[in-house]
Amino acid sequence: MLCTRQIASRTLALRTARCGLSSTTRWMSSAAEESESAKAFRVEPHSTGKMTDLGTRRIFNEEHDMFRETARKYFDEECKPHTEKWEAAGMVDRSAWLKAGELGLLGCTTPAEYGGSDCDAKYAAIVWEEQAYSLCTGPGFALHSDIVMPYINHYGSEAQKSRILPKMASGEFIGAIAMTEPAAGSDLAGMKTTALKNEDGTYSLNGSKVFITNGAMADVTIVCAKTAPEKGPHGISLFLVETGMPGFERGKNLSKMGMKAQDTSELFFENVQLTEANLLGKENHGFYYLMQELPQERLLIADMGVAAAEAVFELTRDYVKERKAFGKPLVALQTIRHKLAELKTDICQARSFIDNCIELHSIGKLDTATASMAKVVGTDLQHKVADECVQLHGGWGYMSEYPVCKAFLDGRVQKIYGGTNEIMKEVISRDIVA
């Protein structure tokens, strides 16, 4: 892959060489370039055979396509065949994590020196999308790679990064983050978990967390706790808590409406003794760190929402073309065709906005309010499309063996976690009136 400096150097050399060319030669060179540009043009999903087709979308290139093929093959071959087994177990096999690590699907944006691929956010987005296209919601890769790992990479000490990140990139370690509590979800100020400092400089961690994705399998968990309760949200710190620490226990794997293959657990901390080596970043800076990382979390939820909508739409398009009623395919009915037209229009509008957000994020320009808009757009769309597609399947859409039914159930939580959509609207409105 050429770096920006190499590309700029080659462009300058080409321009310099042209200064001595005849006008005819320059015209021929320009025409050839235009031809190459035409060949390289990438269509958008609204103009393709299927919205999930490879080789589309101008924010990506051929190298992204090759990576996407790897990701698509992984989810098709390593996840889809095992989904039923994982749903019964309430968690994904560790072997699936190790295989994902082997293929470079974990920690895409993590520096190579810590075991990652050192790629831009577009590569991470490809993994989000391909998982959503597969409708395999079990593996908690996005949270692991693009929420937990960035916290450690951005705020961790050299010792923390060099010890933990390579194991997370390989899939040997699974990561989780514990913010939500039984009585405090979006309201971080209401957090009750504390990590109070002892006279010897250690911390005593006490409290509980709930709805923790990857909670049952996690080897390392970022725990949010108050180190200075009197300071409210500005007294929050982040700690790295590892499996096996005395006083750290996992509760039951929670029974959920959807995402049944993804482990979601309660965590309990009773006088867990932590040292400075467990502190992630600076004491009492946790709230600031959380605010800095939220745009990526909300973007990945939004992008997975739109990708899931695209996948469910394509399933439904195939279904209504094959399913017959009154002696004709359902798609022969105008009301069905118009519903498909409405859904595709909505999806393509959302895809355009989300792709713009991915582009902004890849250059570090995605702000919190825009990321919040993305989450509302992506997850509201996902819910609408899944609901309408269940309706288009009729009674079969209500049967659990049909992918559209599972997609409806799995997608419902998207409007809740990562900050509820109601909270997102509050964030957006504050930016408007500021």
For residue 85, is it within any domain?
Answer: yes
C-alpha distances (whole Å) from 180 to each of 90, 120, 192, 193 are 20, 29, 10, 10
- 327 and 244: one domain? no
pLDDT at residue 195, rounded to an integer: 98
Point out the catalytic residue in the list 87, 181, 293, 297.
Answer: 297
Q: How many CB atoms lie within 10 A of CB 192?
A: 14
266 in helix, strand or coil?
Answer: strand
Whether residue 338 sits in one domain with residue 426: yes
Scored b (16 or more CB within 10 A) or e, 392-421 reads bbeeebeeeebbbbbbbbbbbbbbebbbeb
Q: How confident is the model at residue 134 (pLDDT cuts 50, 70, 90)?
A: very high
pLDDT of residue 188: 80
Is 47 inside any structural domain?
A: no
Q: Which of 50, 24, 19, 120 is nearest to 348 (CA)?
A: 50
Domain assignment present for 198 = yes
CATH number, domain containing residue 411: 1.20.140.10
297 is catalytic: yes
Residues 280 and 200 reside in one and the same domain? yes
The rounded distance, in Å, linking the Cα atoms of 168 and 114 is: 9
The answer to whether 142 and 204 have CB atoms below 8 angstroms apart is: no
Q: Which amino acid is at 151?
A: Y
Number of Cβ within a 10 Å radius of residue 159: 9
CATH number of residue 221's parent domain: 2.40.110.10
Percent of the chain with pLDDT over 90: 87
Say whether pLDDT at 21 is over 50: no
* 124-145 average pLDDT score: 98
Predicted confidence at residue 39, as pLDDT, reads: 52
Last residue of a domain, one of 284, 303, 338: 284
- Which of 284, 311, 344 is the endpoint of a domain? 284
Full domain range(s) for residue 311: 288-433
| Within a domain: 35 | no
Average pLDDT over residues 370-387: 99
- What does the pLDDT read at residue 376? 99
Q: Looking at 284, 300, 329, which one is the last position of a domain? A: 284
CB 280 within 8 A of CB 238: yes
Q: Could you tell me the end-to-end alpha-carbon distance of the chain, in angstroms, rounded to an integer?
A: 42
Residue 15 has pLDDT above 70, yes or no: no
Mean per-residue pLDDT for 104-109? Answer: 98
Which tens digit of pLDDT belongs to each residue from 29-87? 444 444 444 457 899 999 989 999 999 999 999 999 999 999 999 999 999 999 999 99
Q: How far apart are CA 128 and CA 416, in angstroms?
A: 18
Residue 373 lies in a domain: yes
Residue 176 near residue 219, CB atoms below 8 Å: no
Q: Are 262 and 137 in contact (CB under 8 A)?
A: yes
Parallel, antiparallel, or unpaired: how do β-strands 220-226 and 175-178 relate?
parallel
Element (H, E) at 209: strand 203-213
Number of domains in the chain: 3
* Residue 27 confidence (pLDDT): 35
Cα gap 128→297, rounded to integer Å: 11
Collect all residues with Cβ–Cβ distance below 8 Å to 164 and sequence separation of at least 6.
Answer: 152, 156, 173, 220, 240
pLDDT in tens, 243-293: 999 999 999 899 999 999 999 999 999 999 999 999 999 999 999 999 999
User: Residues 46, 364, 6, CA angle at the centre, nearest 5°?
Assistant: 85
Q: What percent of the chain has pLDDT over 70?
A: 91
Say if residue 202 is exposed, middle or buried (CB neighbours under 10 Å; 0-12, 13-18, 19+). middle
Are 334 and 322 in the same domain? yes
Question: Which is it for strands 220-226 and 248-253: parallel, antiparallel or unpaired?
Answer: unpaired
* CATH number for the domain harbouring residue 133: 1.10.540.10
Residue 1 has pLDDT above 70, yes or no: no
pLDDT digits (tens, 9 = 90+) for 345-355: 999 999 999 99
Q: Does residue 2 carry a pLDDT above 90? A: no
Whether residue 409 sits in one domain with residue 358: yes
Q: What is the mean pLDDT of the chain?
A: 92
State whether 271 and 345 are in the same domain.
Answer: no
User: What is the identity of the amino acid at 58?
Assistant: R
**Claim to verify: residue 292 and residue 268 sit in the same structural domain:** no
194, 227 contact by CB (below 8 A): yes
DSSP 254: P
Q: Is pLDDT at 340 greater than 70 in this prediction?
A: yes
Vertex 325: Cα angle to 323 and 331 (nearest 5): 60
Q: Do 426 and 337 belong to one domain?
A: yes
Range 301-324 average pLDDT: 98
Instruction: Assess if residue 150 is contained within a domain.
Output: yes
Q: Are residues 416 and 351 in the same domain?
A: yes
* 293 in the same domain as 429: yes
Task: Please report which confidence band the pLDDT of residue 117 belongs to, taking 50, 70 and 90 as the band edges.
Answer: very high
Question: Is there a domain that residue 11 lies in?
Answer: no
Q: Are residues 255 and 376 in the same domain?
A: no
Identify which of 49, 91, 50 has the alpha carbon closest to the alpha carbon of residue 176.
Answer: 91
Same structural domain for residues 183 and 148?
no
Tens digits of residue pLDDT in 153-192: 999 999 999 999 999 999 999 999 999 999 888 788 789 9
Q: Does residue 32 lie in a domain region?
A: no
* pLDDT given for residue 41 in this prediction: 85
* CA–CA separation, 136 and 79 (whole Å): 7
